[in-house]
Amino acid sequence: MDINYPVRWQEPRVDLRELANLRFKDGWSRKQLASHYGRTEDAIQNYFQKIKKKGILAD
């Protein structure tokens, strides 16, 4: 008898302000950011959309 249990994977949250600083102030590429945060470039692009929507500015 096989029993399946739901597992929820929780990744640490990305600090959007830090991400904005690295991208817009320090000029990091999406590829560099993806490698730094251990995410895909598509995920990084989604974070950029959140940054824009929330109005987060680089320091």
Mean pLDDT per block of 10 residues along the chain (59 residues) reads: 80 91 96 97 96 84
Q: Which residues of 7-36 are buried (b: 16+ CB within 10 A; e: fewer)?
A: eeeeeeebeeeebbbbbeeeebebeebbee
DSSP letter at 24? I
Burial zone of 53 (CB within 10 Å; 0-12 exposed, 13-18 middle, 19+ buried): exposed
State the pTM of this model: 0.76
What was the pLDDT predicted at 38?
94
* pLDDT confidence of residue 42: 97
pLDDT of residue 34: 97
Determine how many CB atoms are found less than 10 A away from the CB of residue 3. Answer: 4
